Amino acid sequence: MNNFPSVFEAISDLSKDQIEGLLILAKKYKDRSYDKSDFTNRIPIVANSFLENSTRTKNSFAIAIKKLGCHYLDFNTETSSLKKGESLEETLLTLYSQGVDLCIIRTSVSHHFSEFKNNAPIKIINGGDGTNQHPTQALLDLFTMTELGIDLEGKTMAIIGDCVHSRVGHSLMELLPLFGCKIILCGPSGFVPESSDNDSIEISNDLESTVKRCDFLYTLRIQKERHSGTDQTKHYETYHDKYGLNKERLEKWNKNVPVFHPGPANIGIEISSDLMKSNLYKGYDQVVNSIHMRMAIITSILSNNDKNIGIIDGQRIRD
């Protein structure tokens, strides 16, 4: 895809046309109108580097890479020289020198990749950076919504939970309004911002009135690992009573609407087991569609023809 960014950090790095292009390509992969990308000269090498825990994202990228026919490198950061104090840039330049073309990285540091945007040591896809962004999750969520036949124009979706600390939430807030969807961020104070200057985003502390106004719901895990030094822990005990979704509540409020969750879910806290086992729950559809959307993103970044990668003092490290 022309002009696809070589460091894909945030939804705002893409134009709406590029996002629509990704949806079309993901659909083609899903419909198996073609399986592999057409790598004519050389089979690319793609590395997965996860500096934070992951089940869904890491495996979905790994499967997407293999389905595309790329070589796959599981770059084990725990046993790498990053643990000896090597900088991320030096590590990425080393991988590039070894022939790796693209690195999918997850890190606990927000905006970790911003420094590489004007001088990329290697092509990078953000697999989630701290509390900042998780753009591929939001894109696969959008793809899932279109696959379910949801037209976002004029609709309202609630994001319920720890919106302030959720990178998934931040990416959705950038993405869905581009398609005409309004968002209500719902949770206790401290989990939702006090205000928003974005016309498409409202804030609420009241679950019942929020859910009643929404066409579909997106619930988030409490990001406990990002709460050190805050007083957010005070919400943990009462969370399910005040903000948890379960079948009984949705039936009482007469809401027969799709419920999305990026996983991993803390069952009995933000969502009940009975709701996850019901046909309203779309978490597994999201996982299914993650493969095809990530195939589309990997193909687009690998084929962007950017020659300004891995340059030191005006020279490319390798061809």
Nearer Cβ to ligand NCD, position 288 or 311?
Answer: 288
Backbone Cα Rg of the chain: 20
Token pair listed for 263: 């996983």
Restricting to residues 165-184, name those near ligand NCD by CB under 6 A.
167-168
Nearest CA-CA partner of 144 in 7, 294, 35 = 294
Q: Is 56 in the site for ligand NCD (CB under 6 A)?
A: yes
CB of 290 to ligand NCD, least distance (A): 8
Q: Is 261 in the site for ligand NCD (CB under 6 A)?
A: no
Those residues with Cβ within 8 angstroms of residue 117's Cβ, 6 or more apart along the chain or in another chain: 5, 7, 9
Nearer Cβ to ligand NCD, position 226 or 255?
Answer: 226
Choose which of 263, 303, 306, 311 interacts with ligand NCD (CB under 6 A).
263
Restricting to residues 219-248, name those near ligand NCD by CB under 6 A.
221
Q: Which helix (H) or strand (E) holds 184?
A: strand 182-186
CB of 170 to ligand NCD, least distance (A): 10
Nearest CA-CA partner of 302 in 54, 111, 41 = 41
Give the residue at shortest CB distance from ligand NCD. Answer: 221
> Residues in contact with ligand NCD, total (CB under 6 A)?
10
Nearer Cβ to ligand NCD, position 37 or 133?
Answer: 133
Q: How many residues does the chain have?
A: 319
Binding mask 137-156 for ligand NCD (x = CB under 6 A): x-------------------
Nearer Cβ to ligand NCD, position 37 or 290?
Answer: 290
Restricting to residues 73-132, name those near ligand NCD by CB under 6 A.
128
CA distance 181 to 157: 7
Nearest CA-CA partner of 36 in 2, 60, 66, 63 = 66
Token pair listed for 52: 């934070």
Nearer Cβ to ligand NCD, position 112 or 167?
Answer: 167
136 half-sphere exposure, CB direction, 13 A CA radius: 32
CB of 134 to ligand NCD, least distance (A): 5
Identity of the amino acid at 149: G
Contact in structure between 24 and 283 (CB atoms under 8 Å): no
Q: What is the binding site for ligand NCD (CB under 6 A)?
A: 56-57, 128, 134, 137, 167-168, 221, 262-263
